[in-house]
Amino acid sequence: MKQGKTALSSVGINHMRAVFLILSACAAYPVMAQEAAKPTKATVAKKGDRVEDSTVLEPIVVRGGSKDGAMEGYQPISTVTATRTDTPLIDIPQAVNVVSEDVLKDQKAQSLDDALSNISGIGQANTLGGTQDSFIRRGFGDNRDGSILTNGLKTALPRSFNATSERVEVLKGPASTLYGILDPGGMINVVTKKPEQTFSGEIYGTASSFGGGSTGLDFTGPIEGTDFAYRIIGEYKNIDYWRNFGETKDWIISPSLSWYGEDTEVTLSYMHEDYSVPFDRGTIFDPVTGRAVDVDPEIRFDEPYNISEGSSDMATLNVKHEFNDNWKLNFDYSYSYNEYSDNQARVMAYNRLNGNVTRRADATQGSEIYNHALRLDLTGDVEIGGLRNELLFGASYDYADTFRSDLIRCAQSVNFNIYNPVYGKLPECTTVSKADSDQTEQISTASAYFQDSLYLTDQWILVGGLRYQHYDLMAGKGRPFVTNTDSSGDKLVPRGGIVYKMTPDISFYANVAETFRPQSSIAAYYGNLPPEEGVSYEIGSKFEIADGLTANIALYTSDKKNVAYSEVVDGETVVKTAGLVRARGVEVDIAGEITDEFSVIASYGFTDAKIIDDPVYAGKWPVNVPRHTGSLFFAYDFGEIDGNGNTLKVGAGIRGAGKRAGINTNTYFLPGYLLADAFAAYTIQLERPLTLQLNLKNIFDKTYYTSSIGTTNLGNQIGEPFNATLSASVKF
C-alpha cells in the first residue's frame, strides 16, 4: 500500500486519472472533425506565386526544406552524425545505429533507456537515483560524461529524451575527432522534431497501469503567405511511481520556427521543462549471498521526501547556407540550463543479521548547470586531382559550468528496518556543510578539425580526420573555496578509416581512432587527475539482406588508460583512476522491413571488458558492463481489416542483458535478465483518424536490476515491473 493512501482511494484516483487523460485526447475530436469540413486555402509551392481563392480540402503546403538523415520505417538510410555531412550509412567506416521515429512510436518509448534497449553493446550506468541519463557504450561510460548530445551539441539536460525527440542515433567507437571530449565507446545523438512544410497535428493522452498518465499535443505547418514554418510541442505527465511511494511529474513546452530562403534555412527553437522525479537508489545486495535482500521490490528504504525537483531550458539556433551545389555552411548554437534541488535519506550501512540500516538525511540545494555549445562547419563536395573529395572544415567551442550551492548533511541514524519498514523517523536535514558546499566544475574547450572522405573509385573510400583541441578545467569546493583541479592543455586527435564497397549493397570497413578526456576531482584527496586517453580499432561490414533490411556487423578492441572510477573515502565519494581498461567485442544490428508489412529491429552485442593494469583492481570487470546484450522487436501491419478503412498493427519483442559487476571489487554481480514486450495499435478511419494503442512492458513481471552506483552494495537500480499503457491519439 502506498504511503498516505488507502487502497480504495488509490484505485479510485487512478481510475479517474485514466478516464480523464483518455478523454482529454478525444475531447477535441468532434471539434476537429468539424474543422476538417471547413474550406481551406492551398498555398502553391514557390515563393512569390499568387494563389487564387479556391475551396479545397487539402493541407497547406509550401516549398520544402532539407532534412538531415533519411529513414524508411524502421530502416536507417543515411545520417549526418558520423561525418557531419548527410552520408549513406554504407559509405561510413564506422558502426552507426538508428532508432527511428516509427520504432519509438510502436514501442511507446518514454526514456532514452527504452530507445537504446534496441542497440547492441549498451547498458545502463549509475543514474544518480534515477535522475539522470547514464550509459555504458562498448565497455565505457558514466553519468555526466558528455556522451549524450542533442542535435549534435552537448547540453546541460539531465534527461535528453522527451516529447520533442524524433529519433536516436548512436555512433559506435571513437568520435572525438568530430565531437571533442568523448569515450572510446561512442556517442548518442538525440535528434529533435523540426517544423515541417506540410500541416499536421496530433493530440494524445495515455493512461498507465501504475496510475496516472500523460496528455500532449504536437502541431506543425507553414505560416500562410510567408516563408516561415512553425512547430509547437507540449506535454504534461503525472504518473505514480511503481514502488510504494512517489510520483513523476513533468511539464514541457517547445515552440520552434523555421525560415526558408532561396539558399538559406534558419531554425530557432526553445524548450522549457519542469520536473519532479523520485530520487531512488534502489535496493541492497548482500555481499555474502551475492543476491538482493529478500524484500518485496516495491518497498523503498528511503523516505517520501526523496525527490529531485528542477527545471530545464534549451534554446538552439541552426543556420544552413548553400553557396552553390558543392559548398555548404552550417552553424549551430545551443544554450542549455538546468537547475534542481533534491532531498534524500541515504542508506549508509546495512546489518545483514537483523535488517537494520544506517541512514543519513542529505540534500543538495540550489544546483545550477549551464552549457554553451557552438559549431561551424563548412562542407564541400569537390574534385581534386580527378578524385571526388567530401571535405569538412570545422570549429567548435563548448563551455560547461556546474555549481552545487548548499550541500546538506546531518548525523547518521539507525532507525529503519528493511523487513519492517516504518517511515517518518528520519526528518529532512537543514544543516549546511560548509566544507562540502559550493561544489564547482568549469570546463571550456576550443577546437578546429578537418576531415576528408576521398573516393578513390566507386568501390574504395578513404576517410581521414584530425582535431586540434585546447581545454581549460577547474574544479573545487568549500567555504572558503578550495581549488582542487586546475589544468589546461592541448591535444591532437586523429582518426582514419577505409571502406570497400563490394557491391552497391555490401561494404566492408576498418577504422582506427583516438580519444581524449581531461578529468577533474572536486574532492581534495587527489588533486589534478591525468587525462583519459584511448585508442580503438574496428572492422566490420554493412549490407542489405533484402530490399529494405539493413544489417551491420562490427568487431572492435579499445584501450583506455587513466580510466576514472569512484570510491568512498570517509563517507564521501571521490574519483580515482585505473591504469588501463580494455574492451573487446562483436556487435550485430539489423533494422528495416522483411516485407512491406513486416518490420524488425534486432541486436546482439558481446563485450569483454577488463581492467588490465591497476594495483587494486587488475583482472576485475568494470562496473555495470554487461557481457551480453540483445534485443528483438518486430511489428506486423495488417493494413485495412474490415472494409471501412480501419487498420491494425501489432508487434512484440524481447530485450535483455547479461550479468554485470555491481562494485569495483566484483564481490557481487547484478544477474542477467530477459524481458518480453508487446503492442497493438488500432486506427479508426474517421474524418480525423483516431488511434488506440496498448503497450505491455515486462509482460511476465520479471524482477531485474538495471545498474548499480558502483561504489557500494547499497544502491542498485530495480527495473520496472509489468506495466500496461493505453494511449489514444487524434491526428490532423
Q: Is 19 exposed, middle or buried (0-12, 13-18, 19+ CB in 10 A)?
A: exposed
For residues 402-417, average pLDDT: 95
The whole-number pLDDT of residue 33 equals: 36
List, by residue range, all CATH 2.170.130.10 domains of the chain: 68-189
**Per-residue pLDDT at 576:** 65
- Is residue 110 scored above 60 in pLDDT? yes
Contact predicate 343/428, CB 8 Å: yes
Virtual torsion, Cα 629, 632, 633, 634, nearest 10 deg = 160
Position 237 pLDDT exceeds 90: yes
Write down the pLDDT at residue 2: 40
Gap between the Cα atoms of 242 and 248, Å rounded: 10
Q: How large a percentage of the chain has pLDDT more than 70?
A: 88
In tens, the pLDDT along 564-580 reads: 666 665 656 666 666 79
**Residues 613-626: what's their mean pLDDT?**
92
Burial 333-348 (b: 16+ CB within 10 A, else e): bbbbbbbbbbbbbbbb
CATH superfamily, region 190-731: TonB-dependent receptor, beta-barrel domain (2.40.170.20)
- What is the structure's pLDDT at 68? 67
In this predicted model, what pLDDT tens digit does every residue of 471-487 receive, in sequence order? 999 999 999 999 988 99
pLDDT over 60 at 660, yes or no: yes
Closest CA to 463 of 95, 92, 86: 92
Query: CB–CB of 397/444 below 8 Å?
Result: yes
Q: Tens digits of per-residue pLDDT, 338-380?
A: 999 999 999 999 999 999 999 999 999 999 999 999 999 999 9
pLDDT-derived band at 607 (thresholds 50, 70, 90) equals very high
SS3 26: helix
Q: Encode pLDDT of 684-732 as tens digits.
A: 999 899 999 999 999 999 999 999 999 899 999 999 999 999 999 999 9
C-alpha cell at 514: 583516438
φ, ψ for residue 581, nearest 5 deg: -120, 135
Query: Is residue 323 predicted with pLDDT exceeding 90?
Result: yes
Distance CA 670, CA 604 (A): 19
Q: Residue 264 above 50 pLDDT?
A: yes
List, for residues 179-207, the tens digit of each pLDDT value: 999 889 999 999 999 999 999 999 999 99
Residue 62 has pLDDT above 80, yes or no: no
First to last CA, the chain: 42
Domain with CATH 2.40.170.20 in the chain: 190-731
DSSP 8-class letter at 204: E
Question: Where do we find the cell 538508428?
Answer: 98
Model confidence at 42: pLDDT above 60: no
Q: Which of 407, 398, 408, 410 is nearest to 439 (CA)?
A: 407
Q: What would the pLDDT profile of 14-38 be if each residue is shown by its tens digit?
A: 433 433 333 333 333 333 333 333 3
SS3 13: helix
For residue 691, list its beta bridge partners. 683, 729
Backbone angles phi, psi at 107, to 5 degrees: -85, -10
Percent of the chain with pLDDT over 90: 78
The reported pLDDT for the residue numbered 578 is 65
Rounded distance between C-alpha atoms, residue 502 and residue 497, angstroms:
16
Task: Find where cell 511511494 sits.
Answer: 245
Question: For residue 61, is pLDDT > 90?
Answer: no
Mean of pLDDT over the chain: 88
pLDDT value of position 563? 76
Max Cα–Cα distance, the chain, nearest Å: 84
Residue-wise pLDDT for 444-457, tens only, equals 999 999 999 999 99
190 touches 165 (CB < 8 A): yes
CA distance 657 to 660: 9
CA distance 92 to 79: 9
Q: How far apart are CA 375 and CA 396, in angstroms?
A: 4
Please write the tens of the pLDDT for every residue from 325-343.
999 999 999 999 999 999 9
Angle, vertex CA 620, rays to CA 614 and CA 621, nearest 5: 120
Per-residue pLDDT at 566: 62
What CATH architecture is 68-189? Beta Complex (2.170)
Q: Which residue has the higher pLDDT, 65 or 539?
A: 539
